[in-house]
Amino acid sequence: MDKYRIKSNKEISKVMFLDIYMTGHNGYIAGGCFKNIFNGQRIKDIDIFFLTKGDFIEACEYYDQNENYVFSYENNNTKAFKNKETNIRLELICSQFGEPLDILSKFDFSITKFAYYKDKSEDKTEYKCMYHEDFFEHLIAKKLVVEKDIFFPVSTFNRVLRYSRYGYGLCRESKINIINSLQGQNPETISDELYFGFD
């Protein structure tokens, strides 16, 4: 937890427009959309994670019945709905469940380790941001930093190639971590892993 910061949404007001995507379910937003938000770029999709499978199912039912959304697609990892007004796609994630800290710890890059969630620990619900302590520094520097524990090394390597097209680069230590994590990977499972990484 010492690598993460927690602040009220009032302290980071740029994320408050996301409140409309936080209603009607018990999930939270995490991942790559925050990179776009703080870079002033348009976001196309938002990943919503859940504590339990039950929360995921309830959210799917909510969006199925919500006239402001239309079903987009579904696979083993995600069920997606598009907002008719904003054209933003909500991707409800069902491949992993857990608390924001648990999910962020599985993301590969520090610039994707950002979550927006509801804190219900007190009498009232408060929206809060949790993010990696180096999130803003690395985002400004366009620096890709990967820690030693890489859950999906092939997917991370593939995402490095994609991010490099937008001017992001790996630091020396991250290059070593990726090279080491790719050692002994089974070529037979590479295509599967390319589609199972985390933001």
pLDDT, position 195? 47
8 Å CB contact between 128 and 121: no
Q: CA-to-CA distance for 117 and 22, rounded, in angstroms?
A: 8
Looking at residue 27, its pLDDT comes to 97
CA pair distance 26, 119, nearest whole angstrom: 11
pTM of the model: 0.87
- Residues forming beta bridges with residue 19, ordered by sequence position: none
For residue 92, which of 143, 51, 150, 145 has the smallest C-alpha distance? 51
Each residue's pLDDT tens digit, 104-143: 998 989 999 999 999 987 678 899 999 999 999 999 999 9
Residue 92: alpha-carbon gap to chain centroid? 11
Backbone angles phi and psi of 56, in degrees to 5: -65, -45
d(CA 102, CA 134): 18
pLDDT at 197: 47
Q: Which residues pair with 13 in a beta bridge?
A: none
Q: How far is CA 58 from the centre of its chain?
A: 20
Residue 165 phi, psi (nearest 5): -70, -20
Residues of the chain with pLDDT under 70: 1, 122, 185-199
Query: For residue 199, what pLDDT is reported?
Result: 54
For residue 39, give the nearest of 109, 108, 132, 142 by alpha carbon: 142
Give pairs for 36-43: CB < 8 Å, separation 24+.
38/14, 38/136, 38/139, 39/139, 43/88
